[in-house]
Chains A and B, each alone.
Chain A
């Protein structure tokens, strides 16, 4: 894989809010056509990494390339779904208006929203199962429904690389299913997905690759190789419930403990 084809490559990214770095010297290679989860404990800099990649928060150092070019040249190929809590829900805007915001960049300052744009927006709402809610004010929706609308907005952009910040946090089961279905069908179309994820138990089911971080990267690669008990232990320290580890790695218990290697004289 040449670097020009990589959807996202990060080298030596450091971000700081004040004196101590939130993300330190992170390198990341996001493979095309795969679903990658960013995992790590609370305060590990997962969201910060995503925001720095997108230029929402400034980076102290580091390089970000998107499909081999600087971010600013590739804005149209990236779609972002923010964490749900970040907007004012009493804002005077309807569901369909929010989805159309995904078209603003393409529309520029002057072009009018036409029937074609409206039907595209409706189509995106339909994909996330929210077409019946198009005329509702966004504050009238449940948390999961709001999350789906934000996903629809990113679909309207028609991007190649999707960045999502905790898409499954605090949503109902129906929404989780709807979102994962949409993401998987995006993947089937050859698009790339990178999501901050908090639920370790669903990582093997939902994702192809993981990126484990705690301030600086701990492990990166296919789930089968990088999503190991050892890597999680190093990222989370003692904060992982042992029950969860047993559930994730049932065979690890049976395997011989990696004690000191026997001395062979």
Chain B
């Protein structure tokens, strides 16, 4: 069996699959929250689940059942989270509070209330509440097979709904007014988006815990955004990052008896985010630094060459060093023959640009002048020849 091959138990495989599917759904849905700029709402959604979990436990015990039934607890979580969401929406729409303040208020009040209920449960029904705290930080220890299946199925359903709604959600995020002209109702699409975030949060309570599920919803899409300029790729990558984090986190946390699952999953996601932040090819920090460095280099090289062409001395040490390294000037600052040739090319380019910018009919092309772009990248050979004829005519006149 696969599990034995990797030295992992059947249970760990099961849990990792569930956590992976959950991460996949959370990343995908989180991507659309991120595109809609409403990632933080997920924070209110997740914290608002706690009183529901506690109340559902109390109700199930009062009815003489097992308080730890996962479906029952998830149902309670969904209801109280929905109440939190409605209150955030109401505060945002009907009062002068902004959405950020509404989120802060709902998050803290619901969470505080939930903690009070947990304490009450601890005092009245000692022993039976075991495991309820695991909803805070997530735990796979003692997870039943049926629990893992519920999580996997819930994650898969949320993911399917997300895939189905991807176009309306993208359009409403990018251009809500245009979406409305296309017969979509932005308010309803937003509601569906929130419902999906709520579903993923509730499904993820057991594995990741309510405090940290937010990380999967937010970290995965922001990490994905570094790698692409396409929204659907952001969603796919975010799902992938969430899935890998979920599965890897679940496996790692199973290696030691007391490792909570949620924090490990978040740390894996955070590592992927950090790598993206630094190394992503265009939007990454490193790429930005390199691009800035190369730009500075082009500016100094060009200015230095133009100075050489005009027979002026170069004062800036960086420019001098640059031209020397390229063998364009000697140690004493005098241009080499290579340097002379390059300087003449630069000066000719500058004269051509100057001529082009004086021609009213060439305005769109002349607008691309920035002092660095060679004119060959803007004009065809014929057009340059025409410019040169004008230059000679002007020189003769």
Contacts and interface: CB of A to CB of B under 8 A. Distances in A.
Contacts of B326: none
A82 B178 contact: yes
Nearest to A53: B181
A91 interface: yes
Given A104-B171, A104-B182, A94 B177 contact: no
A1 to B, nearest CB: 25
Given A54-B180, A56-B180, A94 B175 contact: no
Interface in B179-213: 180-183
B177 A82 contact: yes
B352 interface: no
B229 A137 contact: yes
A75 B168 CA distance: 16
Contacts of A107: 167
Given A101-B178, A104-B171, A93 B165 contact: no
B172 to A, nearest CB: 11
A254 interface: no
B90 interface: no
Given A104-B171, A109-B165, A109-B167, A80 B178 contact: yes
B364 interface: yes
Interface string A160-172: 0000000000001
B229 A86 contact: no
Nearest to A93: B231
Interface string B207-250: 00000000000000000010011110110000000000000000
B109 interface: no
Contact of A92 (B180, B225, B363): B225
Given A88-B174, A109-B165, A174-B364, A93 B229 contact: yes
Contacts, number: 72
Interface residues of B, number: 27
A101 B175 contact: yes
A174 B368 CA distance: 14
Nearest to B231: A92
Contact of B228 (A55, A92, A109, A110): A92
A28 to B, nearest CB: 18
Nearest to B181: A80
Interface in A87-112: 87-88, 91-94, 97-98, 101, 104-105, 107, 109-110
B183 A82 contact: no
Nearest to B173: A91
B182 A105 contact: yes
Nearest to B234: A92
B164 interface: yes
Contacts of A87: 174-175
Interface string A168-184: 00001110000000000
Contact of A104 (B37, B167, B364): B167
Contacts of A173: 363-364
A125 interface: no
A110 B174 CA distance: 20
Given A91-B173, A172-B364, 13 more contacts: A51-B177, A80-B181, A82-B175, A82-B177, A88-B174, A92-B230, A92-B233, A94-B229, A94-B230, A98-B174, A101-B170, A101-B174, A172-B367
Nearest 4 Cβ contacts at the A-B interface: A137-B229, A80-B181, A75-B183, A105-B182
14 contacts: A54-B180, A55-B180, A80-B178, A86-B175, A91-B35, A92-B35, A92-B228, A92-B229, A93-B230, A101-B170, A101-B178, A109-B165, A110-B164, A173-B364
